Amino acid sequence: MLTIPKRELFIKRVYEIVNELKIPLIDERVYDKVTFSGSAAIAKVVFKFEEDESVIRGFLGLAEYFHTVVIKSKDQFFIPHANILFQLISS
């Protein structure tokens, strides 16, 4: 039996929920390079996915609330807002 690695399952589930909520997502297919400056942020909030989908939904709910985009970089997702950087990672 073929099993999907946890990281790939995490990324697939984020994409499914993004499509369901109709939140704009920018990933490697769209941009050439992305960098984040943590020094400009007043706060950096990290959401850690550990098989509880509510963490993904809570993170994406922020993008919906702030009417902003989600940016994917490698296997992490980011929501930049004002001086706060929200980050979603898989454990």
Q: Which residue has the tokens 């400009």?
A: 40
CB 59 within 8 A of CB 17: no
Residue 50 DSSP one-character state: S
With a CB cutoff of 8 Å and minimum separation 6, the contacts of 29 are none
Q: Count Cα neighbours of 87 within 13 Å in the Cβ-side half-sphere.
A: 16
What are the pLDDT digits (tens) for 32-47?
888 777 677 789 999 9
pLDDT of res. 19: 96
Q: Which residues of the chain have pLDDT under 70?
A: 1-4, 38
